[in-house]
Each structure stands twice: as structure tokens, then as C-alpha cells.
A and B are shown apart, each in its own frame.
Chain A
């Protein structure tokens, strides 16, 4: 085998001890206890989990180390944390708690933190977040600070920069499609995954396994991440943790990839 089956990754949002779910990075819906959600995803044997503190950067505060420790003690799969990270010392502390990967977004653009952290901890622990929003004219641009600051850079060029700085993986999210459940931004994921050598995790827009299948068939991403699809159920958005069975995930990539 020269390729691994793609990973399917639930992405959980939290802040202040609450599990939340936003739509287009806005209007957080309260869903309950984030530690319990991590435990449930562990019981469902999910491939990997990403947890993001969606207010740490905007509130200019430290990561919630106590909460991160609670997550780590419930997660016997790879766990990534993002939110408010701006120093090597913070990363050291987070990794020592039992987290495998840190996701860096707002502190990523100049490359200094990513390069320094990759040199100390290895690229495999450092994930660059690329949050993308379309302008009215349809051009895609990278945003930071939880989608509140446009840095005016085009995502493909940015993804190559992040790879050069030493990021070991890219977490690419479409802000416009977040929570929409209408499918991924395939064009964006295809463009980025074709340009870089490092694994790309796609996020934003998944509503069904069919959306994930289409993403995997149409692009070279290594993983499909989703929030809403795995934490909310039905049109009334009832909180419900779900995750596909291992055989269902294996079947997602049984189709050969579209070479075009």
C-alpha cells in the first residue's frame, strides 16, 4: 500500500467550559459539556480529534490548560488543540499535557512561531490553520483572529509559505461554508492539496458522508474534518454526537480518485 485511508476528524469548538457550534464563525450555539463530547468521540473510536478554543485569541488570554488536560485524559487517539497559541513555551506546555498537535492560526503569518516550534518539537506536531473567506467578487482570501482580520493573501500562496516555514499539516477551513452542511469548497481543497507535499485537512461545509466521499474523490486531501455534521442532528439542530463506523470510513475511499 502506498497510501493510507483518509482520516475523518471531528472538530469541536469550545470556550469557557462550554461546547459550542458556530455558523460562518458566528452565532455560537451552546451544546453542553466539551469533556463529555471528547469522551463520546473516544468511545466511538474516531480517527483523530481537533478541539478549538474559539475565544482565546479574541479575549487575549492563555489557553485553558486545565480543560485541555481534561480532554487529553479522555482521548486515546491523536488530539490537536488550537486557540490563542503565540509562544513556544505555550506549545511545550500543551504537548506535555498529552496533546499531539497544536494548531496555529493568528500567530502563523510571519512564520516565526511555526519555524521555531517545528525546530523544537518536529513538524509533525505543528499544524497551520488557514481560514478562507470569499470576497464579493469571488476571490478567496486568508483571514486570522477567528475570521475578524483579512490578511489579504491568496490561500494557495499562503499554503506553500506555511509548508516552507515548517508546518507539518494544514487545517484549511472555509468560513463561508462553516455550518452550512451543503458540502466542502472542493475547488479550494483541490487547489491547496495539489500544491503542497504535506497533508491537508479540509473543513467547512460537510453535511453527510456523501460530501466527504465527494471531497476525497475530487481532491488529494489526507483528511476530512467536520463539526456540525458530528455534533448536531436534523433541521432543528439537536445536539447529538455521532461518528461513522470504521467500515464506513474505509468504504469512503474505496473509489479511485478522479485524476482530473
Chain B
């Protein structure tokens, strides 16, 4: 049985996430039915593009409730990029509500002169909760690849696992119990991302 299941709801680059778990020799499979979600040990929620397009695709795939039930069962869920933003209450990018699994909201970057959007490229993060298993063996100089036009701000600092600074501080990783999300792309972040996904596969 797969250690990690990656949700395919029609949007998101499942190929590169599968490739990285293969590199880690962690059994991973792509899932797209309610049954396979309910049987998953750990679930990855990818997302790319516009917030509403992702929420709409998740709704139409009939998997939205499955993800919520999976989360309620206490098993580990990891949202990546827009997949992390989907865990929040909503986004200024769209009109649809988020999954609301973490008390946070996805907002615009501030309009600052010289601040190019998207935030695209390699950046370092500061681990606010360095003792958390997801941050294991990752130091403050770990580099991750980001590409996003909106960023998450948590209502409570307790939900912020890692922060990054670009036009002010934002949450690069968020957390609430068994639910976690990362704004960057671990599957595209060399040994740093490899370490994070390895950490996730043992949570």
C-alpha cells in the first residue's frame, strides 16, 4: 500500500511530485476517487494556477468532501502551493470559499514599487517551529523554489510553521494539527524539498 497518495482532481502537477517520492523510494500513488482518498495513509493536495479554478475543479471532481473527511480523520495532509492556499478560509484572488482547515486567509502582496509579482525564484525561509517533524533536518538557510502571486497570512502565529519575507513577512508553511501546507514547491527544491517530503512521509 502506498505510503503517500497524491490527489489528482484535474489540476496540478502530480508528475513531479510522484517523481520525487520515487527518488526517495517512498511508495506513492496518484488517487482520484473518494474510495482511494478515504483509504490513503497520507495525502498531498497539489494546486497550480488560479484559486477559484482549483476550488472549482476540486468541487466538480466530487473529491472536496473526501478531502474534508480525510482531514477530520486525523491523518496527515500536505497542501502544496495553491494546494496550501486551498486549506485557508479563502483568497483575495477569487470568490469561492477555501476548505477552511486552517485559520488563515490568502491575500494579495502589497503594492510596493519595485516588488515584482509573482514571487518567483529561490528563497530561504525561517522555521518558526523548528522542532516540528516537517522541519526535521532543515536549517534556516534551506532554499526553496517559489512561484506565487498571492500569499497566506495566518490569524494566529501558532499556525505559522515557516515564514518568508517578500514585500513583508508571509507564511511559507502553515500548520494545524495533522494539516499542513507549504507555499513553495518541495518537489522542485533539490535536496531541501527532498528532505521535506521525506519528513512528510514519516509523519
Contacts and interface: CB of A to CB of B under 8 A. Distances in A.
A5 B48 contact: no
A28 interface: no
A45 B191 contact: yes
B121 A100 contact: no
B18 to A, nearest CB: 8
B194 interface: yes
A168 B167 CA distance: 20
Nearest to A169: B120
Interface string A64-98: 00000000110011100000000000000001111
Interface string B19-34: 1101100000000000
Contact size range, A: 20 to 34
A4 B123 contact: yes
Interface stretch (B62-70, B71-79, B96-104, B182-190): B182-190
Nearest to B112: A2
Given A4-B120, A4-B122, A78-B188, A124 B166 contact: no
Contacts of B191: 45
Contacts of B119: 4
A99 B20 CA distance: 13
A47 interface: yes
Given A73-B19, A96-B14, A222 B120 contact: yes
A121 interface: yes
Contacts of B22: 73
A1 B19 CA distance: 32
Q: At the interface, is chain A mostly helix, strand, loop or mixed?
A: loop
Interface in B30-85: 48-50, 53
A1 B143 contact: no
A169 to B, nearest CB: 8
B28 to A, nearest CB: 13
Contacts of B23: 76
A195 B123 CA distance: 25
A98 B194 contact: no
Given A47-B122, A78-B188, A125 B165 contact: no
Contacts of B128: none
Contacts of A72: 15-16, 19
A7 B119 CA distance: 13
Interface residues of B, number: 39
A239 interface: no
A96 B15 contact: yes
B140 to A, nearest CB: 14
A76 B20 contact: yes
Contacts of A2: 112, 114-115, 166-167
A197 interface: yes
B90 interface: no
B147 interface: yes
B118 interface: yes
A199 B120 contact: yes
B114 A78 contact: no
B132 interface: no
Contact of A4 (B14, B112, B121, B149): B121
Interface in A213-228: 222-223
Contact of A98 (B15, B50, B123): B15
Contacts of A76: 19-20, 23, 187-190, 193-194
A199 B149 CA distance: 13
Nearest to B8: A96
Interface of A: 1-7, 42, 45, 47-48, 72-73, 76-78, 95-100, 120-122, 124-125, 168-169, 197, 199, 222-223, 246
Q: Which 7 A-B pairs have the closest CB atoms?
A: A98-B15, A122-B49, A98-B16, A4-B121, A45-B190, A124-B147, A97-B15
Interface of B: 13-16, 18-20, 22-23, 48-50, 53, 112, 114-123, 143, 145, 147, 149, 165-167, 185, 187-191, 193-194
20 contacts: A1-B166, A2-B112, A4-B120, A73-B19, A73-B22, A76-B19, A76-B23, A76-B190, A96-B14, A98-B18, A99-B16, A100-B147, A122-B48, A124-B48, A124-B120, A124-B147, A168-B118, A197-B116, A199-B116, A222-B121
